[in-house]
Structure 1
Amino acid sequence: MSDNFVISISRQYGCGGRELAGLLADKLGVKLYDRQIVHIAAAKLGINDLSEEELLEMEKEVKPLSMQFIAFHSFGTHMGESSRGMFMSESAAIKKLVADGPCVILGRCADYVLRNEPNHFAIFACADDDFREQRGKTVYEGKSLKELDAEDKKRARYYNYYTGRNWGEGQNYDLVVNTGKQPLDKIADSIIAYIKTLKG
């Protein structure tokens, strides 16, 4: 693969996407970025007195009555609004991290932010309800399928609002994987082999 590749991973809550991202980063010997991006973005905005939970909640502040799409280039005129400012700052942080070297980025609308990068490979990880429900019980501290789906609705609303695209729609990604079909380690190996055939 190219020396400056980047893999972005979007995922359904409870499908094991975070673990998959970690496996890919380990196997490729590159850094994995996720919530660090939130902190970098917050620092750029001069926010230093909020907890991680408060930062994550702030970035998801999308009002239900403001669902219309706002063109990406116009966000700069609305930096006074916390969630829009956070999105723009996160986008800048993602582009800076990618410029610094190959990496795996989990979530943060990175598939959209990096859509024009030539060595970017976008993945969406999903799984059927039974698989996610079982992981909710065993991995996610007993969360129900209803709770997992509620988190996905938040992600989808945030993503759809800022990108104008539908979260999880196959045409937005280079590859969609069902993590319930094979062990995550095997899926990671298959993804790497597939990317190599496309990127060289």
Structure 2
Amino acid sequence: MSDKFVISISRQYGCGGRELAGILAEKLGVKLYDRQIVHIAAAKLGINDLSEEELLEMENRVQPLSMHFMPFHSFGTHMGDSSSGMFLSESAAIKKLVADGSCVILGRCADYVLRDNPDHFAIFACADDDFREQRGKTAYEGKSLKELDAEDKKRARYYNYYTGRNWGEGQNYDLVVNTSKKPLGQIADGIIAYIKAIKKA
């Protein structure tokens, strides 16, 4: 595929979204970014004494929403906790990486960060519960569907807090794909065909 593009992949835990992102990047011959963004952001903040797991866990420190909730984006940059600092630094890292060329970005609220980028295509990957439950057993260290759903609640809370939008809501994405319907390679081909058709229009 010619011309510049960036694909962001958001996904339900256990649907194979990480694998799908990797297949897309390989088919398109571009880089895949995910946890590299976390490390770039941490370096910008001068955080060098935390493990990767500890850095990722920072995203789970967002408290559950309350009746008096006001989303982070309403405050601008005036919230000083470590989690908000990481979000802002990750956002800056994403924009810098995208400026360097076409790529696939997994997670990191990239669909929101790049919402005004005309070369950006936001994809949300989901799957049926039976499919996710089976993958939980085989590909996610024996995690139950309940455990997968708990991880999704953390993702949704983080995303909603920093973006003011609802995680997984179709209107926030260019395309929603169900990974339990076809092999991931075929789904990747479908996504590429969709993007090519849109770029030609």
TM-score clears 0.5: yes
Separation (CA, whole Å) in 1 of partners of 2:65 and 2:139:
34
* Unaligned 5+ runs, structure 1: none
Identity of aligned residues (%): 83
Separation (CA, whole Å) in 2 of partners of 1:116 and 1:2:
21
Matched, 1:88 2:88: yes
- Preserved contact between residue 21 and residue 104 of structure 1 (Cα < 8 Å): yes
2:15 maps to a residue whose letter is: C
Q: Which of 69, 72, 97 lines up with 2:71 in the alignment?
A: 69
Counting matched residue pairs gives 198
Deviations 1:84-113 (A, max 9, x none): 010000000000000000000000000000
- Preserved contact between residue 59 and residue 82 of structure 1 (Cα < 8 Å): no
TM-score, normalization by structure 1: 0.95
- Preserved contact between residue 21 and residue 106 of structure 1 (Cα < 8 Å): yes
SS of 2:61's equivalent in the other structure is: coil
- Report 1:37-48 matches (<5 A): 37-48=37-48
1:68 maps to a residue whose letter is: M
- Preserved contact between residue 45 and residue 89 of structure 2 (Cα < 8 Å): yes
Single out whichever of 124-133 and 54-63 deviates more from structure 2. Answer: 54-63
Match of 1:29 in 2: 29
Match of 1:193 in 2: 193
Per the TM alignment, residue 2 of structure 1 is displaced from its structure 2 partner at its CA by 4.8
Separation (CA, whole Å) in 2 of partners of 1:156 and 1:76:
21
Per the TM alignment, residue 81 of structure 1 is displaced from its structure 2 partner at its CA by 1.0
Deviations 1:112-140 (A, max 9, x none): 00000001000000001000000000111
> Which runs of structure 1 show a deviation greater than 3 angstroms over 4 or more consecutive aligned residues?
none
2:72 maps to a residue whose letter is: I
1:76 maps to a residue whose letter is: T
* 1:64–1:199 CA distance, 2 compared to 1 (3 A): same
Separation (CA, whole Å) in 2 of partners of 1:125 and 1:68:
28
Separation (CA, whole Å) in 1 of partners of 2:112 and 2:72:
14
* Unaligned 5+ runs, structure 2: none
- Preserved contact between residue 2 and residue 199 of structure 1 (Cα < 8 Å): no
